[in-house]
Structure 1
Amino acid sequence: MQRLLLLTLSLVVVLCHEQFQVIFEWKSIDFKWPSEEVRKYALLRGDYIPMNNFITTVKFWKDKMYLTIPRWKDGVPVTLGVTSAKPVNNNETAPFLDPFPTWDMQKLGDCSAFQLVHSIEIDPKGRMWVLDTGRSTALRMENKRDCPARLVILDLEDNGKIIRTYEFPDYVARRGVTYLNDIVLDHENGGMAYITDNGLDDPGIIVYSVKNNTSWKIRHDSMKAEKEAVGFMVAKTRVINPVNVDGIALSPASESNRQIYYSPLSSFHLYSIPVSAARDNVTNIDQFVKELGRKESQTDGMAMSATGVLYFGLLADDAIVMWDTKKSSFAVGRRIISRDHVLTQWPDSFTFDEDGNFWCVTNMLQNFLNNRVNISVPNYRLIRTHLGVKSYQYYENGTAPEWPDFTASAESVRFALATLLAVLLVFVAK
């Protein structure tokens, strides 16, 4: 009887939310090439293999949306793209992507360009924070080079101009080993970023201080893959892949004692730690880690609203869940708001736009992992519902807290000067 009551409550909540609608969907991801000849040459050389391009993250700023395409296999020419946030003529649901900010910034083997971008975040001032793992995980060795993992901050109000580049030191994010997966931003204490590193050898949450231009890593067993959760089924396809700490969310800007929420993909548990513990880099993190409860399935990305509602997916159930962190415990407060065995296969990541819409990237990743992508059918979707709220970076009334202004770090200036010198030397040589 109790189980039936809980199910009924869940169904009521589902009915209280607008259903997700498909706004964009692609059979395969393609780009606005310099010319058709360049595209054909890229196909011939294997620099562009349509079935190897998939979307993990989308973020919105004004009338544009920015998408990441991680280089997990060969043939991914662009790892960060941009297109209109609205379907052209209201019927173009599979738009071509422009490389962002330029084609030059997508060049493999060039450590000044993006090598593998999995996630991005945009702050209320229009600055895009880009995680570049620094290496392609593709198999082909040509043009392959392990560059340092970086955080690159771009100004969307100035055509994607680089504001700051920060290279993580090896003791924080080891070159060739780390994998920068997801990021959340905090406006306090001069600006902070919290980043999940789910590299196999040294998983953890990286903390970056804008004010001090430095970083450190928090490590804990709760951030490691759990054996019981390594294998699962999605749409009758078996996934067996240990993945460490993956999804991350930050409680809203209005809270005084903010919490960082996280979970390994290979885990049934949700955890949290206070921002203060991460920010202060406490020696013994064990006493601050809190296990909030057990989920019904594995989870990839997650997102927090300005009102303190946490959203996440259940991969083995093709479902999207909400939990109001301010009203009830995780054990009894979870509610399924969507379950669709076609449209929500592998809800990968979530985001809010400026109009109060809530978006989810679904990418059927189980097919990609098992080399079963069929580009004759839709594979990648952006689905949307209207919630009428903004993201965790805003107050409940929709206004944004005061974000710190910052300029390029000394490291970024040195990098720019080195690039300019290299161009001058080439010019002189000619």
Structure 2
Amino acid sequence: MFCTKPSTLLLLLTVYVSCNKLNISYQWRILDFDFGSPEKRQAAINDKSFIPENNLPLGLEVYKNRIFVTVPRWKFGVAASLAYIDRTTDPMESPMLKPYPNWDAHRPLGGEPPEIVSPFRIRADQCGRLWVLDTGLEGLLEENPNIYKNSTVMIYDLHNDELLRTYEIPYEQTTEDSFFANVAVEDEDCENSFAYFADLGGPGLVVYSWKQNRSWKVKHNYFHIKPVAGDMTVSGINFQWTDGLFGLALRPEKDGYSTLFFHPMTSFDEFSISTRILRDEALATSKDSFYEFKYLGGRGPKSQSGASFLDKKTGVLFYALVHLNAVACWRTTNPAYTMESQGRIYMNNITMVFPNDVKVDNEGNLWVLSDRLPQFMYTSLDYNDVNFRILSAKVSEAIKGTACASKLVKDPDIMEKIATKLGDKNLISKSASSENKVCNLLIVGLVVAFLR
């Protein structure tokens, strides 16, 4: 009945055509690894060091020709918790994962735990270093998990894949609920870099100095959850989470510091702080710095966000909307952080079920990994269906026609398709405002309902 109204059909067509800007680059029904031979793979299955259905991709990073993927040890039987695929040779359909930096790094040796236990997210900086934030925990979803080591960051040289440094987060900078699931790296000065580790369970922010090889913990009210945001339903699965500080993204500033944009996952709000404060331990841990942390605004209902990433070239902040199966953006030079000032990049209840990581590479490409995590955690995945995807697009194309673009423009191809569907050629000239408005709104209840 609602489809008889041209305005409603225009709304739905516009969202479908102009808001889905990403293309599928890689996809899997089930993960598999390059063991070197069928015999070695079968041996791993036989001794249960590889249980295929227990492997789920979660973190994403792109560096030159390699796409890195983390496969945390949520359950037993994860073959390698950090791997990569080759953009130049691997196929789109079910590419085999190659362990990084090698198989030995993921296997217990001499009674010692593996070098890499279970990282969630990683970061390749512009200095050619890969920062791997390892939780040290295996079997988070099992009855009796194994704690192999404290939360540790390992930094690898991407030029030769050798381990440069290992740093264990000090015990006094954690709590019994600590869980480090995200990392951002301030890498404008390679010798004086800083890394920021988000503790969603603490909650807190650990600041690490590469030059000093030491860290300190920062606390703030803005790192905590918003209680009403804890109830979520994704693909019909209802669950409650209490994840605090999660999304981290850095924008370099002219003063030599950066602005850190951040948010808890269990929240609808965005915040910021200058790293001028964070990089000074005395300032960062002083009560006097409370008002240096800024509240930017809210995204609207059902807008819980996980990972985020900022494109330095455009100043656009990209972030995953985990409750809505969507990816959105905000141009950080915009003084207003409101629903209307944000843009919808992609929304799909099949291909974007639980967007789990977001990155922009050095070539100006936006990358998103979706993995149906709620089904994996609370029910089960159908391995006859595609479950895991990596989607991508040029940043310029992704933000085109949204509030994140420097200039909003009409796309004549989109307008032609809409006009043809409605049988009204005049819509080509008069519907641009509707097009931009729909894509700019983060939460459009009507659209969410119809896309379901």
How would you bin the TM-score normalised by the shorter chain? 0.7 to 0.9
AA at the equivalent of 2:246: D
Q: 1:286 is matched with which residue?
A: 290
**If the length of structure 1 is used for normalisation, what is the TM-score?**
0.81
Q: 2:405 is matched with which residue?
A: none
Q: 2:222 is matched with which residue?
A: 222
Question: Distance in 1 between the 2:174 and 2:87 partners?
Answer: 33
Q: 2:151 is matched with which residue?
A: 149
Conserved? CA contact 2:25–2:92, under 8 Å: no
AA at the equivalent of 2:382: N
Question: Distance in 1 between the 2:93 and 2:271 partners?
Answer: 37
AA at the equivalent of 1:115: V
AA at the equivalent of 2:295: E
Q: 1:407 is matched with which residue?
A: none
Structure 1 consecutive aligned stretches of length 4 or more whose deviation exceeds 4 Å: 8-18, 253-257
Question: Distance in 1 between the 2:393 and 2:254 partners?
Answer: 24
* Structure 1 residue 372: Cα displacement: 1.8
Q: 1:96 is matched with which residue?
A: 96
* Structure 1 residue 42: Cα displacement: 2.7
1:245-297 CA deviation, whole Å, 9 max, x = no partner?
A: 11111114657552111111111111212211111132124222222112231
Question: Distance in 2 between the 1:272 and 1:155 partners?
Answer: 30
Q: 2:345 is matched with which residue?
A: 337
How is 1:141-180 mapped onto 2 (pairs within 5 angstroms)?
A: 144-158=146-160, 160-173=161-174, 177-180=177-180
Equivalent of 2:25, from 18, 23, 26? 23
Q: Does residue 1:315 correspond to 2:322, yes or no? A: yes
| Residues 1:371 and 1:165: Cα distance change in structure 2 (over 3 Å) | same
Q: Does residue 1:43 correspond to 2:70, yes or no? A: no
Please identify the structure whose Cα radius of gyration is greater: 2
| Residues 1:121 and 1:274: Cα distance change in structure 2 (over 3 Å) | same
AA at the equivalent of 1:344: M
Q: 1:237 is matched with which residue?
A: 237
Conserved? CA contact 1:119–1:130, under 8 Å: yes
Query: Is 236-245 or 361-370 further displaced after alignment?
Result: 236-245
1:333-374 CA deviation, whole Å, 9 max, x = no partner?
A: 111122112111111111122332111011111111213212
Question: Distance in 2 between the 1:321 and 1:261 partners?
Answer: 15
Aligned partner of residue 317 in structure 1, secondary structure = coil
**If the length of structure 2 is used for normalisation, what is the TM-score?**
0.77
| Residues 1:11 and 1:151: Cα distance change in structure 2 (over 3 Å) | farther
Question: Distance in 2 between the 1:230 and 1:198 partners?
Answer: 13
Equivalent of 2:331, from 299, 303, 324? 324
| Residues 1:385 and 1:135: Cα distance change in structure 2 (over 3 Å) | same
Question: Distance in 1 between the 2:100 and 2:114 partners?
Answer: 14
Q: 1:414 is matched with which residue?
A: none
Gaps of 5+ in 1: 390-430
Gaps of 5+ in 2: 1-6, 398-452
Q: 2:212 is matched with which residue?
A: 212
| Residues 1:30 and 1:279: Cα distance change in structure 2 (over 3 Å) | same
* Structure 1 residue 9: Cα displacement: 11
* Structure 1 residue 112: Cα displacement: 5.8
Q: Percent identity?
A: 27
* Structure 1 residue 60: Cα displacement: 1.5
Aligned partner of residue 361 in structure 1, secondary structure = strand
1:28-77 CA deviation, whole Å, 9 max, x = no partner?
A: 11111143233223323332222221111221222111111111111112
* Structure 1 residue 178: Cα displacement: 3.1
Conserved? CA contact 1:18–1:386, under 8 Å: no
Question: Distance in 2 between the 1:12 and 1:376 partners?
Answer: 32
* Structure 1 residue 299: Cα displacement: 0.8
* Structure 1 residue 141: Cα displacement: 5.1
| Residues 1:274 and 1:92: Cα distance change in structure 2 (over 3 Å) | closer
Question: Distance in 2 between the 1:87 and 1:23 partners?
Answer: 13
How is 1:342-381 mapped onto 2 (pairs within 5 angstroms)?
A: 342-381=350-389
Q: 1:67 is matched with which residue?
A: 69
1:84-122 CA deviation, whole Å, 9 max, x = no partner?
A: 12463xx44211111110111112573461111111111
* Structure 1 residue 301: Cα displacement: 0.5
Question: Distance in 2 between the 1:79 and 1:38 partners?
Answer: 18
Conserved? CA contact 2:127–2:187, under 8 Å: no
Conserved? CA contact 1:310–1:325, under 8 Å: yes
Equivalences, count: 378
Aligned partner of residue 372 in structure 1, secondary structure = coil
* Structure 1 residue 10: Cα displacement: 12
Q: 1:401 is matched with which residue?
A: none
| Residues 1:166 and 1:348: Cα distance change in structure 2 (over 3 Å) | same
1:148-202 CA deviation, whole Å, 9 max, x = no partner?
A: 22111111111x101111111101235x753221111113571101111113xx2
Conserved? CA contact 2:265–2:305, under 8 Å: yes
Question: Distance in 2 between the 1:249 and 1:232 partners?
Answer: 24
Equivalent of 2:305, from 283, 294, 299? 299
Question: Distance in 2 between the 1:13 and 1:28 partners?
Answer: 30
Conserved? CA contact 1:128–1:154, under 8 Å: yes
AA at the equivalent of 2:358: F
Question: Distance in 2 between the 1:81 and 1:268 partners?
Answer: 32
Question: Distance in 2 between the 1:150 and 1:289 partners?
Answer: 27
Conserved? CA contact 2:20–2:347, under 8 Å: no
AA at the equivalent of 1:248: L
Query: Is 67-76 or 326-335 further displaced after alignment?
Result: 326-335
Question: Distance in 1 between the 2:258 and 2:11 partners?
Answer: 29
Conserved? CA contact 2:81–2:116, under 8 Å: yes
Question: Distance in 2 between the 1:141 and 1:337 partners?
Answer: 40
